[in-house]
Chain A
């Protein structure tokens, strides 16, 4: 037991060095050499990276850093030019997205993808895996899948209550607000019972009151033993809930570490604000000499 706790979970990250691509004591997701180019643009070029099991890992970076593309690559929604990565030891290169999800690695989307013309409870039921009634011939005979459907519905109702969506049970998912859609998407992903849940900007477009409860939900995922990897721009949230932060810029992982140490890392500040943000580029004397030269050039023209 003592050996277990020293390896897994957020506690084990204490002694890990704050270096890009540093090995973790008990990684659930590892990868190396993953690259994706769109024409001449290299969107993702990650040398090595590891995600600790049982911890909340944040993936941050300025716009266009390649975070969502990286997410798509890891979950099989996009194919990289090269590289390999594995989840729980199972190699994932060229594994289709639906099989990745079945292995226990489920993602949500930056722009929520609720099934608008299905009710909230139907959205939830869809998430359950291994449904007998999803096989063509069995589907025609309700006796074959009704009992399992009842179990699934009970589990879905539990999750809806936990995410405070139980009052919306029979509403069309398309009638939910943006924040409620985020909640529904997270709850639906949990119906798959994933080991690693990957959230793409869970806080985008969510009002501050709902943000607090969403934070609680993400923390509760870790508390029930799941691993979380999320992309986020909201620095308060990153500082508040993440155990480990990975920073991407221009497709590369440029820094890693505990939230506090990463925020003060010079490489991170440079990536967000530009490397020369505190050096004064326009010297006053330089401007004056430029102006003088321009004036002289104009006088030459007139003469």
Chain B
């Protein structure tokens, strides 16, 4: 078995476009859940409205690229307001229910036959990423020695990591400020914050919108990296994988979601590659698992790993053990 190639593939996956998308989405979830305590189970919805806003603007209505980006961001803003107004005055669980339901509704609407002229039904929309790749300054493959990216992936890689860095900078600047202190206080006890004269609803809304904006950027990157939008890409599992990445890295830390996404994709790629090769080379006999089963075992192991992490290191990689030890009251 070729461990060198396995490692190279895993490293490429850990730093590649998929990890970037997850890192951006998880940064948004970190603002929601890690800092403010808002349970958003519908980050896929924010990604979907932004991606479809961009794709349909260009491919369906022939609008320019940057206007498409603006429409995508506006759609995510609208979604955050629509979700927040009825639920943010209520207990945290209501937001969780509303977000997971709305993200599923959005996915089904985007894939529906009725709107096939706009969103392309289950085939989605293609042919909107031309303007993005026209900006590509690279002429060939981008080679890092251990691994390399194709010309298009190199451009996504560059733009993506710049966006991740800028997002982290914004989160860092906000969370060290009194505004960030307010969000963390709301996470701890919103009644106490209210008793000190702060408009809790307004701050929760701001946090929901900000996290949704990061989700929107993740949606753009997902759409642009594969130059297509397909409804099944925005199913609820992407939200939960992003939560996994966030918890691995440590919620409530600036770099937690980024490191978490890198580790998540390294493990997923490494375990998938390992079991597929092992099964193909008959190191694992086919009685235990066949080639096709082997590629799915990684999800079982990631789930197992998440459980062990919660038991032995609940604060994630960057978390502070002392914080977890304090009772929630």
If over half of B's interface residues share one DSSP class (helix, strand or loop), that class is named, otherwise mixed; here it is helix
- A188 interfacial contact with B, CB 8 Å: yes
- B304 interfacial contact with A, CB 8 Å: no
Do A126 and B177 touch (CB < 8 A)? no
- A192 interfacial contact with B, CB 8 Å: yes
Stretch binding the partner chain, chosen from B63-71, B77-85, B269-277, B321-329: B321-329
- Segment 87-117 of A: residues with Cβ below 8 Å from B: 96-99, 101-102, 106-109, 111, 113-117
- B179 interfacial contact with A, CB 8 Å: yes
Chain B positions 28 through 47: 1 when the CB is less than 8 Å from some CB of chain A, otherwise 0: 00000000000000000000
Do A116 and B328 touch (CB < 8 A)? yes
Do B196 and A139 touch (CB < 8 A)? no
Give chain B nearest CB distance to A81 CB in angstroms.
Answer: 20
Q: Which single residue of chain B is at the shortest CB-CB distance from A130?
A: B197
Do A116 and B179 touch (CB < 8 A)? no
Instruction: Given the known inter-chain contacts A109-B191, A109-B192, A172-B323, please indicate yes or no for A136 contacting B197, CB distance below 8 A.
Output: no
Q: Which residues of chain A are within 8 angstroms of B197 by Cβ–Cβ distance?
A: 98-99, 101-102, 106, 129, 192
Do B185 and A115 touch (CB < 8 A)? yes
- A118 interfacial contact with B, CB 8 Å: yes
Instruction: Given the known inter-chain contacts A75-B195, A117-B188, please indicate yes or no for A142 contacting B176, CB distance below 8 A.
Output: yes
Do B323 and A125 touch (CB < 8 A)? no
- In the bound complex, how far is the Cα of B195 from the Cα of A140, in angstroms? 25
Q: Which residues of chain A are within 8 angstroms of B210 by Cβ–Cβ distance?
A: 136
- In the bound complex, how far is the Cα of B189 from the Cα of A142, in angstroms? 26
Do B185 and A106 touch (CB < 8 A)? no
Do B177 and A140 touch (CB < 8 A)? yes
Give chain B nearest CB distance to A184 CB in angstroms.
Answer: 11
- B302 interfacial contact with A, CB 8 Å: no
Q: Which residues of chain B are within 8 angstroms of A290 by Cβ–Cβ distance?
A: none
Do B174 and A139 touch (CB < 8 A)? yes
Q: Which single residue of chain B is at the shortest CB-CB distance from A99?
A: B197
Give the contacting residue for A136; candidates B179, B187, B198; CB below 8 A. B179
Interface-central residue, B174, B184, B196, B327, by most chain A CB under 10 Å? B196
- A135 interfacial contact with B, CB 8 Å: yes
Give the contacting residue for A142; candidates B173, B182, B192, B195; CB below 8 A. B173
How many B residues, CB 8 Å from partner? 33
Contact size range, A: 35 or more
Do A118 and B181 touch (CB < 8 A)? yes
Give chain A nearest CB distance to B84 CB in angstroms.
Answer: 15
Do B177 and A139 touch (CB < 8 A)? yes
- In the bound complex, how far is the Cα of B189 from the Cα of A133, in angstroms? 20
Do B179 and A133 touch (CB < 8 A)? yes
Chain B positions 192 through 205: 1 when the CB is less than 8 Å from some CB of chain A, otherwise 0: 11111111100000
Q: Which residues of chain A are within 8 angstroms of B328 by Cβ–Cβ distance?
A: 116
- A189 interfacial contact with B, CB 8 Å: yes
Instruction: Given the known inter-chain contacts A113-B189, A142-B177, A175-B326, please indicate yes or no for A118 contacting B184, CB distance below 8 A.
Output: yes
Chain B positions 150 through 185: 1 when the CB is less than 8 Å from some CB of chain A, otherwise 0: 000000000000000000001001101111111011
Give chain B nearest CB distance to A170 CB in angstroms.
Answer: 12
Do B326 and A98 touch (CB < 8 A)? no
Do A126 and B196 touch (CB < 8 A)? yes
Give chain A nearest CB distance to B169 CB in angstroms.
Answer: 9
Do B178 and A117 touch (CB < 8 A)? no
Do B196 and A127 touch (CB < 8 A)? yes
Do A140 and B174 touch (CB < 8 A)? yes
- In the bound complex, how far is the Cα of B35 from the Cα of A115, in angstroms? 13
Do B198 and A117 touch (CB < 8 A)? no
Give the contacting residue for B196; candidates A106, A133, A141; CB below 8 A. A106
- In the bound complex, how far is the Cα of B181 from the Cα of A133, in angstroms? 10
- B102 interfacial contact with A, CB 8 Å: no
Q: Which single residue of chain A is at the shortest CB-CB distance from B326?
A: A174
- In the bound complex, how far is the Cα of B188 from the Cα of A146, in angstroms? 24
- In the bound complex, how far is the Cα of B208 from the Cα of A15, in angstroms? 56
Q: Which 4 A-B pairs have the closest CB atoms?
A: A174-B326, A133-B178, A139-B179, A101-B197
Sample of 6 further A-B pairs with CB below 8 A, known A126-B181, A134-B179: A109-B191, A113-B189, A113-B192, A133-B179, A174-B329, A192-B196
24 chain-A/chain-B pairs, Cβ below 8 angstroms: A98-B197, A101-B194, A107-B195, A109-B191, A115-B189, A115-B192, A115-B193, A116-B327, A116-B328, A117-B188, A117-B326, A122-B181, A125-B178, A133-B178, A134-B179, A136-B174, A136-B206, A136-B210, A139-B173, A139-B177, A145-B178, A174-B327, A174-B329, A189-B195
The residues of A with any CB-CB pair to B shorter than 8 Å are 75, 77, 96-99, 101-102, 106-109, 111, 113-118, 122, 125-127, 129, 131-136, 139-142, 145, 149, 172, 174-175, 188-189, 191-192
